[in-house]
A and B are shown apart, each in its own frame.
Chain A
């Protein structure tokens, strides 16, 4: 059955049919008909952000915390160009979002009309797919297909650019089940390869699971199967920044995050292992360090849904193309049916070695004197909030790495951070999206003062919708990570890496009607954190911390995993050679 309706109504109808309950957006001339339809219905809540970048990050946060696609709605021209950073961020981190952009009417396209931009041209390289819909009759089917493409295979952002005349015109509404598509990525892995991996697991002496965001994107079943596989085999497991939470931080086999600021034991295990089982990670440069010295003696297996991720930077021995949950299920079955064998004696020896590395205690720090160490702030935040089913967002920089190191994640979809693109300004709007998805949960954005200022206007959004997001700002009055690199690489010449003329964050919060808390005394930190948690409303927490703290451990760029800099006695001045300096 096909119904006739206007394009604008089709947009809303398709969103309802796809189960969307919230849209983050900002109106403008080219989307007024859609806003008019939103006004006249009660199924979908619209959240008015204060900047289009905020809308897209909020949609990302919502998607990551709920497992459902996020939706943003912005106008043509500047609305669309402001969405570009969020789109690129979602592409890099494989987050399913649908961004609807208004466009000037079809008869004005190409005339340099007011607020005209070549949106599909601009967003082509930063979306999984995009459409310019020129006929109202096709709008509904494009909307349905967009949800299918954003969420299937390797997820990602899509853009639908809708000219204003297409929104006004009347056409036939197509139901989702009437839409044909050829896009159907393979989800089942090759059984021969899966068997080969099971065999490798039986004989491995020094195995390690290396998991990534793909496990989380694959859905809760994948995390469940991963936990089962880890428990059954007894192998150690590490994860990338993106994969935190798929295996619980309190789990017996957890050896911590790996990578540039990962744990000593995790990176050493990666370097010395004889079987590396990569599940849904992509051998990112933050993970591998120097490529020719990356885990030199290991057999590498790689499970990934995207063929282009396999053998892109690291040559693997056992490639398995498929969805993590599907492959893990088959892998468990094959391994069990072959008799649940592992080389227990050698795996036990391997654990002894890992436990020796753990003794280095690479995250140790001393909280002395009257200045709060950022690590201490996060350790206290962890202690005081770990009983809550909390959701953590971050901005980008030192605080992000410390949050990953000092906070423990027990479940997937609880950790929202900009991994691939490294977008400062991501965390605050993302926390708004998370809170919209989980209205009663404790949502905390761990931020640096510089990152937080990049999208501070969203405090208005948090207030308007009474979203009690907690902004936990580690304020060192520096661009900490930039400062750290300048210390390591640029002769301690701190070019433009301090934050001058910072606002009074308490007064800033109050100006928006929110609550502001400042804390600079380690002894009153616990009380201040409790005050933040118990306050029913948005809180801006200005935590004044040590200004010159560096983030360790660290694999300096251009170095392999087994040449980490640890916090104490690190030869910081000679850490990075000129060939490593060109890398970021």
Chain B
């Protein structure tokens, strides 16, 4: 059998603390998964979560390095520390996965989500919707005489809060992108 050339800086598929202290409390973690941009790679990642019964609270994916052929998948998931460790190890086994970062434990990170809100109404409701949008720094990206589409960026909590306030004001439809996240500081 002929050996292949192993690329420099190749992943060891092992970058996990193997001796964690497990508790039974469920935690929410944000995982950043750098993958080879191959057909089917998203299906491999999602299939892993479905097949092994893990939760996906939010999922975002897009190519981030066209020349390097890399996509970044950001998954927000919930589970006990043992499950979270297992998820990371299972992701690390996927051949197309280059790197798994747990942004929740690896130092501070920024998380943002973008959402579009369609609010339908007239009169006081309409005025109140615009006023609240202003407070939340949401932009109006489409308007008719009886509707608005607002664009809002922020943490998932902020978007949840905005949704709650818009509910009685004629909120008809929401589109959310899911969380995109990066670690703070100069480290990658």
Contact = CB atoms under 8 A, between A and B. Distances in A.
Interface in A525-556: none
B1 A147 contact: yes
A121 B13 CA distance: 24
Contact of A177 (B5, B18, B51): B5
B7 A180 contact: yes
Interface stretch (B40-48, B112-120, B149-157): B40-48
B118 to A, nearest CB: 34
Contacts of A315: 22, 82
Contact of B11 (A149, A184, A311): A184
Nearest to A302: B18
- With a 10 A CB-CB cut-off, give which of A69, A182, A183, A312 has the most chain B CB atoms: A182
A545 B170 CA distance: 77
A321 B92 CA distance: 13
Interface string A165-209: 000000000011111111111100000000000000000000000
Contacts of A124: 40, 43-44, 47
A307 interface: yes
B13 A307 contact: yes
B66 interface: no
Contacts, number: 101
B29 interface: no
B10 A184 contact: yes
Contact of B16 (A18, A149, A185, A307): A307
B152 to A, nearest CB: 36
Interface string A141-179: 000110111010110000000000000000000011111
Contacts of A308: 86, 89-90, 92-93
Contact of A185 (B12, B19, B22, B36): B12
B125 interface: no
Contact of A182 (B7, B51, B90, B92): B7
Interface residues of A, number: 42
A181 B18 contact: no
A182 B11 contact: yes
A178 B5 CA distance: 7
B188 interface: no
B2 A175 contact: yes
A19 interface: yes
A186 B13 contact: yes
Interface of A: 17-19, 68-69, 120-121, 124-125, 128-129, 132, 144-145, 147-149, 151, 153-154, 175-186, 306-308, 310-312, 315, 317, 319, 321
20 contacts: A19-B1, A124-B47, A125-B47, A129-B95, A148-B3, A148-B4, A151-B1, A154-B93, A176-B2, A180-B5, A181-B7, A183-B11, A183-B95, A184-B6, A184-B12, A307-B14, A308-B92, A311-B85, A321-B14, A321-B18
Interface of B: 1-7, 10-14, 16, 18-20, 22, 36, 39-40, 43-44, 47, 51, 82, 85-86, 89-90, 92-93, 95-96, 98
